[in-house]
Amino acid sequence: MSGTLVLVRHGQSEWNLKNLFTGWKDPDLTDQGRAEALAGAKALAETGIKFDIAFTSNLIRAQNTCQIILDEIGQSDLETVKDEAINERDYGDLAGLNKDDARKKWGEEQVHIWRRSYDVPPPGGESLKDTGARVWPYYLTDILPRVLRGEKVLVAAHGNSLRALIMILDRMSKEEILKLNLATGVPIVYTLNPDSTVADKAVLGDMSSAH
């Protein structure tokens, strides 16, 4: 039996718009972010998918993205589990700073390393590896068993908690994950084999503008 796992990064947040490092801070979606979530929802609706359960983080931008999707596909009351295990990576001392100002202060390369490397944490925050250390166990204990039972599972979360998940799903190396950026509101639909490997992957939208 194969199940379906849909991953979606929340739509643009107020702090994405202001170009601020966000992490565990809790800004809401912008109008554009709500529109992105709705566009992703419409793409999912076209597939005719009906979910068995949804997972989201403790942060409002992911929760509202999740609800916009569920409302659009006619599943407003679907069981939805909220857990900080799939929160955005903790950006530590960078949270609240402007990304361009940070580049001016520490240099383009250092900021890129903090944002995209596998195991270099930003000051006081989590690396992707640290983020994975909480995302992966949660995936194995709470999310994957549902998919392997043949269920259809929605995960509405964050750029870096989802990069950690995609790294293991797509068997990406530490070097490959450096280049992966997820567009906001674009659903990624995985069909998993019974041994939890990926049978099929479809991206319902345009990832090319992601940065």
Q: Which residues are catalytic?
A: 10, 88
Select from 155, 169, 165, 183 the least CA-distant residue to 78: 155
DSSP-derived pairing of the beta strands 53-56 and 152-157: parallel
Per CB under 6 A, the segment of 21-29, 34-42, 78-86, 190-198 that binds ligand 3PG is: 21-29
Residue 69 to residue 44: CA distance in whole angstroms? 8
C-alpha dist (Å) from residue 107 to 36, 160, 179: 31, 21, 18
21 interacts with ligand 3PG by CB under 6 A: yes
Q: Is 15 annotated as a binding residue?
A: yes
To the question of whether residue 13 is assigned a binding role by annotation, the answer is: yes
- Please say which residue, 8 or 192, places its beta carbon nearer to ligand 3PG: 8
Nearer to ligand 3PG, 4 or 63 (CB): 63
Residue 91 in contact with ligand 3PG, rule: CB under 6 A: yes
Report which of 69, 68, 78, 25 is spatially closest to residue 45, judged by C-alpha positions: 69
Does 125 contact ligand 3PG by CB under 6 A? no
CA dist., res. 135 & res. 2, Å (int)? 22
Minimum gap (Å) between residue 115 Cβ and ligand 3PG: 4
Q: Min. distance of Cβ 19 from ligand 3PG in angstroms? A: 9
Give the nearest residue (CB) to ligand 3PG: 22
Rounded (5°) CA angle 51-142-49: 10
Is 11 marked as a binding-site residue? yes
Instruction: Please give the DSSP secondary-structure letter assigned to residue 209.
Output: T
CA distance 209 to 193: 30
Residue type, 145: P
Applying CB under 6 A, among 4, 12, 22, 67 the residue interacting with ligand 3PG is 22
Nearest Cα neighbor of 51 from 156, 168, 157, 166 is 156
Binding mask 156-175 for ligand 3PG (x = CB under 6 A): --xxx---------------
Binding track, positions 25-64, relative to ligand 3PG; x by CB under 6 A: ----------------------------------------
Does 110 count as an annotated binding residue? no
Please give the backbone phi and psi of residue 96, each rounded to the nearest 5 degrees, phi first: 95, -10
Residue from the set 5, 7, 8, 23 that interacts with ligand 3PG by CB under 6 A: 23
Q: Which stretches of the chain bind ligand 3PG, using CB under 6 A?
A: 21-23, 88, 91, 115, 158-160
